Amino acid sequence: MAEIKAADVAALRKATGAGMMDCKKALEESGGDLEAAKDWLRSKGLAGASKRAGRAAEQGAVDVKVEGGVGALVELTAETDFVAKSTDFKSVVADLAALAVAEGKDELAELAYEGATVGEHVTQLAAKLGENVAVGRVVLYETTDGLLDGYVHQQNERGIMGVLVELGGVDPSDATAREVAHDIALHIASAAPSYVTRDDVPGEVVEREKAVFEELTRNEGKPEQAIPKIVEGRLNGFYKDNVLVEQGFVKEPKQTIAQLLETLGANAAVRRFVRVKIGE
């Protein structure tokens, strides 16, 4: 049996919210594998690991810039929210988003900025603020025939979450299409989907979910002949939680995102999106 370290138990508890002894048991049953332990807890109905996975203690700020057919999302990380909400820090992350759009690049370190390179300037900023400051995730979208929109969610005086989304099959100059694109960006920030459509969900993810649901259903004592139907229902629930077009629109929950897109015409579709939240 693999040695179960207290630090691993604590990490699993933080990621899943399950009890300490349940986390230890999960790690023992999974040979110390953290991801397998999360699935074990879920199969026992003890945690919602898929919702809590990936959380971290990092701080920082996010900004988004969209101009024409180019959009950029930039994350600047720090150790504390006190530094992340400072004027200097927020000014730099906004400048970097604008720079990424202007240069059409997602590799920023060597780009010229404020008489130095971005990398050099960030190093100087870290020294000035007295914290470990670094450029985090950078995402660049470019389109020739699509509509880009972005959204930044503000909290505690800085952007803590950013979204970029691209719609296709619409007229980028159409005001209604722009409004819907922004509504979808807001929805993505709130609902945190992982995929655009069911087809985007990797096969291994689907099989993993099925396996968890099957074991969970058996553990609940359901009749064997009923298990496939129950698993199918739970898998549909997984899609509704994680697939953008199947989610209920946050402003009108009875309307799915797919139905919202239909108001723009038969060809309207979300091509891609990205959602970045500080600490995740």
Report the chain's mean pLDDT, rounded to a whole number.
90
**Structural domain boundaries in the chain:** 1-55, 59-195+248-277
* Predicted confidence band of residue 132 (pLDDT cuts 50, 70, 90): confident
Q: Are 201 and 243 in contact (CB under 8 A)?
A: yes
Sign of the four-CA dihedral 280, 257, 187, 172: positive
pTM of the model: 0.81
Query: Is residue 198 classed exposed, middle or buried when 0-12, 13-18 and 19+ CB atoms within 10 A define those classes?
Result: middle
CA 63 from centroid of its chain's CA atoms: 15
CATH for 59-195+248-277, options being 3.40.50.800, 3.30.750.24, 3.30.479.20, 3.50.30.50: 3.30.479.20
Q: What is the CATH number of domain 1-55?
A: 1.10.8.10
Segment 158-192, tens digit of pLDDT = 999 999 999 999 999 999 999 999 999 999 999 99
pLDDT of residue 63: 98
Segment 20-29, tens digit of pLDDT = 788 888 888 8
Residue 110 CA to residue 131 CA, distance in Å, equals: 21
* Predicted confidence band of residue 1 (pLDDT cuts 50, 70, 90): low
Residue 35: closest CA among 57, 16, 20, 22: 16
Locus of tokens 């891609």: 272
Q: Which residues contact 80 (CB under 8 A, 6 or more apart)?
A: 59, 131
Coil, strand or helix at 241: helix
* Predicted confidence band of residue 47 (pLDDT cuts 50, 70, 90): low
pLDDT of residue 15: 79
Segment 198-214, tens digit of pLDDT = 999 999 999 999 999 99
Locus of tokens 């002894």: 21
Segment 59-108, tens digit of pLDDT = 999 999 999 899 999 999 998 999 999 999 999 999 999 999 999 999 99
List alpha helices for the chain, DSSP H: 6-16, 20-29, 34-43, 49-52, 81-84, 87-103, 118-129, 175-191, 203-219, 227-242, 257-262
